[in-house]
Structure formats: structure tokens, C-alpha cells
Structure 1
Amino acid sequence: MKFADRLNNVETSAIRELFKLLGKPGIISFAGGFPDSAMFDVAGIEAATERVLRDEPGAALQYGATEGYQPLREQLSAFMASKGAQDVAPEQLIVTTGSQQALDLLGKTMINPGDRVIVEGPTFLATIQCFRLYGAEVISAPIDSDGVKPDELERLIVEHQPRLVYLIPTFGNPSGATLSLERRRKILELAVKHQVLVVEDDPYGDLYFADAPPPSLLALTPTVPGSREWLAHCGSLSKVLCPGLRIGWLIGHPDLLARATMCKQFSDAHTSTFAQATAAQYLRSGVMPQTLARVRAVYAERARAMGDALRSELGDAVEFVQPQGGLFMWVRLTGARGQERDANALAKRAIEQGVAFVPGSPFFSQNPDPSTLRLSFATADIDRIREGIARLKKALAA
């Protein structure tokens, strides 16, 4: 059987492959990028579902518009306004089956084989795979704790003339980095100056632990004339409500949305109307702020516990920046006192000790750093976090 040549450009997810090794009883996993299912507001979702079936069963159980269920588009418009993006009309967004579909639609509508795109190094693994599937050469832009470096990004834009630039400005996956306010404005200025599309992926921006992060690039576009035309914004309810509903959205230029809608028609006709109606009812109920407050408090406590455990158990064998939001801890092995510096080798020994993490190399489109690893603190309680880091110490010493 012969398959499409585009499949030669991608491999199966290293994270998904790792999950095959996690069947060992009692293993503590820091590998997944999942929210904790114990955080799901089951009662609130159940109430929303009941209201949907009582008040709007015909619309919720029928085929729907590809652009999205209008009541949800209206609620998402209000949700974005509550986060500072005041001028997003319902017609200026389309609903997608998770934000992953939004990225896929951007790949379909924007990328020709041989085009270059720029991403952060490191970045979301599935984005690298998605863009490569459409034939892109994926260029890596360096980052630090304040996100992508604008001067380096501009140099790469001038050199490679990319079709688009993809960023996770707030609590990035896997880095946890947050782009500073100054850099956010500079990125929008670069988009206008070089007329290049910037894609802002923002699944984690609501998961802050103390002070709110800087406004999204989308919310800042009124301060940089012309930048709205060159920005696409991807959002999701997966990390803040639940991933099972598969509710995401794409905000962008009308011409981009029109073409993305056409491609979505070919893919799935529309995102589940029942899921959309449930999400709309949930947002309309006004309980999302309480849900977010609870989730933020739990994840903040777990992030502190993981940072404390890494410092006390592993000491100078690792270095990291304490995250201020999101789901992840990005760690670098220092090799102090002759200890392991290869995260891939450590991952195998860690499994033997009953703890799992994701090595950092797959998150780089170029020049991978083999000393890096990603730990998720989202799904383990504090006792399991402490035990897991203790096991990681044993693996490092093995």
C-alpha cells in the first residue's frame, strides 16, 4: 500500500510513544500534558447539559453551522472581552474541535510545501508535527524566561521570509515561559513591519497562580496600529473546563476565517453542536470565574511543591525557573558532580524507578537540547509529587 509523501515528513509523537511504557503498576507520571480530571466541574457541566436538552434539544442535536453554534460564539466573544480583548465580535471567530484543529486549519490555509515557518525553541510538539505534515520547514527561534527574543526573531524573519510565526506567549508548553509586555508589543510591531502572520496560541493564559500575566497579543492589537490584520489567535476550553468537549476557537482576519471555514467543512462539517451548546450554557451560567479560581489554587500549590522538591532532592543537578502559571516545569540537567546530563538516558532509568517524564529534545524543531526535560505537576497530588521527585533522584544516582 502506498501512502502520501507528506507522511514522510512526520513521526509519531514521542509523548504518545512514551505512554506505552506507563503500564507499570504504581508508576508516577509527570509526562502528560493533561489537566487533572478531579478539577472538572462535573456538576456544572451536568447542569449545563440538562439545560441544553430541556431548552434547545432540536438545535443542539442537529447539524450546525461550520463557523460554530451562534450562542457559543456569543459567549466566547464575551469571554474574550473579560480577558481584555474587547472588540472580538462573534462573527470574528470560528469554533474548532479543540485548538489543535485551529492549528491544523492554519496549516491547510497558509502553508505550501517548502514554505518556512518560525516557532519557539522549544515549542508544542504537535505544532511542529502539524506544520511539517503540510511540507513546512520549521525554523526554531531562541527563547529565555521572558519568551522569544524579538531581535533574534526579526533576524530569522528577514533571513527566512516565513509564511507565519507561531508563539505560545503565556506559560508556554513546554517551557513555561511568559513573553514580557515590552516584547509582546515588539512582536506585534514586527508583524506589521514585515507583514508576517503571527499565530498566538493561548491555552494556558487563564491558569496563572498569583498576578495575571500581561495582556494577550490579541488584547494589545489596538495599541499597535495595523497589527490585528497580521494576528491569528487560538483559544481553548480544554485546560480550564475539560478537554472532552473539544471546544477551541480561531480569531483572525475575515479572509483567513473564510478559508479556514471552507477547509473545516471538508474535515468535520462542524464541531459537535451538543458540545458547543453545553459549553455555551456553562459560560452563560457565570460559574467559570469560580472554576478558574479553584483550578489556579490547586495547580499553584502543586507547582510550588514540585519546585521545592526539585531544589531539596536534586539540588545543583538541575536548574529551572519556577513557573507562575500553566501546567509545566521545564528543567535542565546540569551534570553537576558528574551526574547524568542526557534526559533521554535518564528517562529510561526513571521508568525503572517508577516515575515518568518527557525528555525535552522532541520539543525542538532544530538543535535539540538533550539535557532538558518537561515535568507536569497538574495530575499528581503533593504527596505523589514529592515521592515522584524522590524517585527521580534515585534514577539520577543510578
Structure 2
Amino acid sequence: MENPRGIIDLPVEVLDLIFKHLTYLSIKLQLAQAHEKLTKAFVYHSRNEFRRYKLFESALSEESMLLPIRECGRTIEDFVFEGNGRFWNDALVDAIGNHCTNLKSVKVLRFNSHSDKICTLLVKLNKLLLSVSFKQESRFPFVILKAVGEMTQLKKLSVKGYIDENVYEIQKLVALEKLKVDHNYYLDRKDVHILKICSSLKNLRELSITNLHIMPCEEEHSKVWVGLETLTIFSCTLPTALPDCPNLKDLSIHYLQSSNEDYCLQFILKNGKKLDNLYEKCRPPIDANGFLQLLRGCPNLRYLYTPMEYIKLYSGYVSTILEILRENKVTREDPFVLVICRRIKWKWFRRLLSRTPNAELIRLPQRYEYYT
């Protein structure tokens, strides 16, 4: 009688087919842990599957979570961890630090504590990472930014949570190209000297700030953000003017509060020469005359998201809009996309547009908010 054969006697190509028929990663990892040959077959099966490795605490045991890191770590470029930090321990930090030698990006979502372990990991990866993103769940000091401040080669940083004095560590990141700072507590706006932070970020191309009180700086800082191409300002208070952005292409400006009531429109007009895309919900809302000024002042604009909240619409006004767009060299082949986020305004504009010559210059998507 021949010796009985088991699954570990199968060629790796056959084991690869078995892994392909297993739907869930947790099941694949259970099989991979059963024998050394099955582990090797799992690595063969995975190949470049773990370029982006996303972990969920509830889905995997600690050992299962560590196996792909240890066995496939060289292929991991993007690490995403979502959870409260139950598995943030020395074993995880060591595994990532020792095996993920080509890691470029780390994203940690919903962490409540274990900042010390995350800091240790960042120190280990100091020379590797180009992108870091944190979403803080609870209100506690953002000490992680002290470790981030040492990563001078970092190109992309996103922080969301309780913004505190540690935010000034960001100004050390001289290679930074994309920055997002989101204070996640809407009952208060955090005082931040954003001009001071950005003064040393000469390579900055994208900036997004949310729920901040942008403080005036006594020190002399640049009055021009030459390199900035994308700017998002949401629910911020602005006691002083922002620097000019002559190369701005994308602007989102929602609920910006300023001592100058017309500041939003003035900022758009001053920086609109190269603007391609604009999302605006200005307070106070842009009026009928200001809307026409906006279109004339932004000749390259091809996408506009706006409420048109207090603008009286009539045939002559829509005709004037189309005439300005024609002067801005908008064509039927490449129409101006107008997204009106007030239902009643969208309905009125659509009705008037259908009766107006050259209506093909405007594309009017049905993408509005369902309230008037």
C-alpha cells in the first residue's frame, strides 16, 4: 500500500489554486499557519497582493496579522491600520520596522491611545516614509507630531483630531508638498499660526485646513504662496488676509469667517487668473453682481460648485453668464460645469437655460442638496 499523501505534498502551483478559491484573508492565513510549506505557498500566492496592507482589529488574530508582515513585508508600500490600538505592541512595531523595508506610506485611523508605540514605529521608519496620515478619535495630546517633525523627507501629511501646540512641529518638514490639518472638534476653533507653519514649506502644493482660527503673526512671513496650486479652507475664522496664491488651480472655500464681509469674493478674484475648479459656499453669499465678477475674473474656470443662494435668476441674467463664458473661450465640446447645490435654484436655472441661445456652453449636473 502506498504511503498516504496530504495537502502539504501538493506542488506549490496547486496550493496556489487552493488559496485562490478561499474568499477571505482570515481563512487564507489560518491555512498558511498550519505548516511551513503552506506558509511558503501563501507567499507565492500573494506575490504583490500586499502592496497595500489594511488591518482591521476585529478580523484577525495577532499572529494572523503579523504573518503577512513577516513573510511579505518587502512588497508592502502602503500600511493602513484601522482600530483603537489593541494590537499596537512591540511585536507589531518590530515586525513592520524589520520587514517592511520598502514602506512609503502609513495611515492610522481611529487610534485612541498607544501613541508611544506609534512614535516608536515612526522613528524606525524615519528614512523610509514619504506619506503619513493620522485620524485621532479621542481628545488627547497629539504627541505623535513630535516624531513626525523629525521626518524631514516627508512629502505628504494629514492630521485629523485634537490639534494642539504640537502642530508647530510641521514647520520642520521642509520637503512637504501636501498638508491637511483638520481640527475635529466643532464646538471650538483651535488658534493656529498657519502662516508661521507654512513659512518654511517652500515646496507646498496642496493645503487643506478645517475648523481653525487662523491667527495673525507678528513676525514677517511671506505674503505670497507661490507654489500653492490647491487650497481648501473649511469652517475657519480669518482675522487677517491670507497670502496671495498666483498659481492656484483648485480652490474650496466653505464658511470662511472674516472681519471683511467681502473677503471671500476678493480672495477668489485676486487669485483666480489660473483657477480651473472652484467650490464655494461663501458667507455672506455672493450676490448677483459678484457672481458675474467671479466669472470674469476667473477666465480659465471650468468647474464651479455654488449655491447661488440669493441671486435672482431671469433670462437676461442667464444670457449674460453665457456671454461671459463665451468670452472666456468656453466651447460646446468642453462646456462649463455648473453645480448648483440649492434645489430650487437648480430647477430655475435649468428652465431658463433651456430657453437661452448657446445653452450648450453650460453642463448642469443634477447634483444638489435636497433642501431649499
Larger radius of gyration: 2
* TM-score, normalising length: structure 2: 0.25
> Which protein has the bigger strand share?
2
Q: Which has the higher contact order (CA 8 A, sep 6+)?
A: 1
- Which of the two has greater helix per residue? 1
Tell me the TM-score normalized by structure 1.
Answer: 0.24
